[in-house]
Amino acid sequence: MPLRKPNVYLDGKGELMRDDPLAPDDLFLGDSLQQFYGFTEALIRSQLRAGIRLLDVGCGDGKLALTLLRAVPLGSVVGVDIRERAVRMASVACNGSRAQFLHGDAQDISYLAQLGVFEAILARTSLHHFRDPVETLRQYAALLPRGGKLILVDIDRESACYSLFGFPLTLLITWVTVLKTVGWRRGCSAIQGMKYPSREWQRHRAVDMAHRNKIGWYRFVDIKGKLRNAFPSGVIGRLAAWRGLGGVHYMFYERRRDA
């Protein structure tokens, strides 16, 4: 299916006009950031059952989806990501398994609806990039069959580890993780790119900050109430990993028979 590209604009005041900018491929560092949140894998696996079909939105290079496919084991998995480079990497890694990775916009619900029925939809560290995360989650839930699961795991800037150690140490450990994962050459190149950011990077970060200020997606204290209102029967919580200093909030929602 062809990708439907979103309109990529901010107004003169830096406000969101419509949709978010595409994540620039030159910022994609393989699965390094996903590995940073690897401690959430057991949490996600606890919500899945063998034989189901899983949709992984913002799948990156597909490592998490493929791990879940084999470990649960899932019946099949479809990953969707807006970054062409990520999808190419995922498609190579799947190596004929029961996995398919597509270049598409996970905010386009009509596009996702054409992919068939999924018993579970997973969004790990992807929804905070979306223009309206809570409304997108509502629409994801509507795609599920009765008894289907919606699994959210995303960044929490107010976890115990962030509060205790503070931003500088957290940033340092993040970059150590990145360097160990992708190597010194690629890692240092990425750091250099942060020092002298491209226009695409600046625009991407501007939208992230707009989300943080207007939606509160990075702060558990702000997002918890919104999730409770949207998914009153959902299980909502917060998790921090001391080893990786990666705090997250999570939500598990099951579409009930009467929903």
Residue-wise pLDDT tens digits, 208-252: 666 667 667 777 888 888 999 999 999 999 887 655 556 788 999
Residue 138, both tokens: 């509502």
Q: Which residue has the tokens 């996995």?
A: 99
Higher pLDDT, 257 or 45: 45
pLDDT at 15: 47
pLDDT at 27: 43
Report the DSSP beta bridge partners of residue 55.
Answer: 78, 121
Q: Where are the beta strands (DSSP E) in the chain?
A: 53-57, 76-81, 99-103, 120-124, 149-155, 235-239, 248-254
CA distance 83 to 104: 8
pLDDT over threshold 80, residue 106: yes
pLDDT at 130: 81
Q: How confident is the model at residue 202 (pLDDT cuts 50, 70, 90)?
A: low
pLDDT at 19: 44
Per-residue pLDDT reduced to its tens digit, 40-61: 889 999 999 999 999 999 988 8
200 near 8, Cβ under 8 Å? no
pLDDT at 18: 44
- Is 0.75 surpassed by the pTM of this model? yes
CATH of range 25-254; options 3.40.50.720, 3.40.50.150, 1.10.150.120, 3.10.20.30: 3.40.50.150
